[in-house]
Chain A
Amino acid sequence: MAPSTRSTQSEERRNDERAAPPTGARPAARAVSGNAHQFRLGLLKTLPVVLGVIPFGLAYGVLAVQGGLTIGETLLMSLVVFAGASQFMAAGMFQSGVDALTIVVSTFLINVRHLVMGLSLSPYLSETTPGWQRMLAFGMVDESYLTTITHYREQSEPQGNPHFLLASGLLMYVVWFAASLVGALAGHSISDPLKWGLDFAMPATFLTMLLPQVVSRRLFAVVAVAAVAATALFVLIPGKWYIIIAVVAGTGTGVVLEARGEGSAER
């Protein structure tokens, strides 16, 4: 869209943006209707991922209520914490009477991986205002992060549109809450839905996201190293450290292979 035809909105946008250069050509001002489009895209591209999350939300609701949390407490956790693995863990820890400090520290350790995700998104959001960043951060869960980073990379533009992540995070939030609610209400009358085989929904979803991205030998090597590291550590050490260590091993492999590739190209 031509910036000149959108000058009025561009002016309004600029007031919101810090240190905006006086041209209409910067990404944030480029397309106001583009924001609505990116929001819709965010919803659309997150939809398949939502399939994988529903069984986990249901299972969380069921297990939390069976573990002794009230429906209100179960839902409050989905609204405030909004992080599947740590909610499962906390529900189990509450049931076995673990002290508060251990629960909170364990939650932090399980979620440390979000730091890497935030770092990975940050170059695409470097022109997004801090207020927006703080809002978007709340909705950054595994699925919205992965959907969004994939989208930003496909766009191959230096900045990502924050409305995409907003929509993705919002959809995940609503679905996570709704699934927890249904699970909590069904509570004592159904068995753990993950035992039916629905636990495979999540890895299946991630698999369909990963496969199209493995387009070179180098990326194959990165995936192989991360897969071996993650699986070995998952079996050997408790907690979620396996994800962070696998990411370090995978990215290290990528960087080293990249450097070696450049070296041999020069020769």
Chain B
Amino acid sequence: MRPYYVIVIMLMGAVTYATRVGFIGVARQFELHPLLRRALEYVPVSILAALIFPAVLAPSGHLESPLGNIYVWAALATSGALVLTRRPWLAIVLGVAALVALRRLVGG
């Protein structure tokens, strides 16, 4: 391993850990304002939405027409499979299989 790379990687690790440890203990030290506590209730669904929708609607970094976008169809397949089977892992496998199949069909 080259020292320069090791040093940069260590620094990357340090700043990343700082972001993780930064606020995790906040509620132990301070009483959180009720409004903030309420707002925090909506953080998980907001993060999920922020991770899912750009990846599906703009998989290549720019918006694509939803009808011609195989990621949109694969997302619908995943959702349908989840509703029908109620098994998350099965819905994920079927959704990814749908995307791989669509990609072969459309060649996109």
Contact = CB atoms under 8 A, between A and B. Distances in A.
Nearest to A143: B51
Contact of B50 (A81, A226, A235, A253): A226
A211 B79 contact: yes
B28 A243 contact: no
Nearest to B101: A197
B82 A104 contact: no
Nearest to B82: A208
A91 B2 CA distance: 15
A207 B19 CA distance: 25
B87 to A, nearest CB: 9
B15 A230 contact: no
Interface size class of B (residues with CB under 8 A): 35 or more
Interface size class of A (residues with CB under 8 A): 35 or more
A113 B83 CA distance: 30
B38 A122 contact: no
A223 B100 contact: no
Contacts of B88: 48, 205, 208-209
By secondary structure, the B interface counts as: helix
A146 interface: yes
A142 B20 CA distance: 11
Most buried by B among A202, A211, A226, A253: A226
Nearest to B89: A48
B5 A69 contact: yes
B46 A246 contact: yes
Q: Which 6 residue pairs are nearest across A and B when measured between Cβ atoms?
A: A250-B46, A254-B42, A80-B13, A234-B54, A118-B24, A230-B50
Nearest to A230: B50
B39 A122 contact: no
Interface of A: 47-48, 51-52, 69-70, 72-73, 76-77, 80-83, 86, 90, 94, 100, 103-104, 107-108, 111-123, 125-128, 130, 133-134, 136-138, 140, 142, 145-146, 149-150, 153, 196-211, 213-214, 219, 222-224, 226-231, 234-235, 242-243, 246-247, 249-255, 258
Contacts of A73: 1-2, 5-6, 9
A247 B46 contact: yes
Contact of B99 (A113, A118, A200, A211): A200
Interface string B4-19: 1111111111011111
A207 B75 contact: yes
Nearest to A220: B45
A104 B12 CA distance: 5
Contact of A227 (B13, B24, B38, B52): B52
Contact of B26 (A111, A119, A153): A119
A108 B23 contact: no
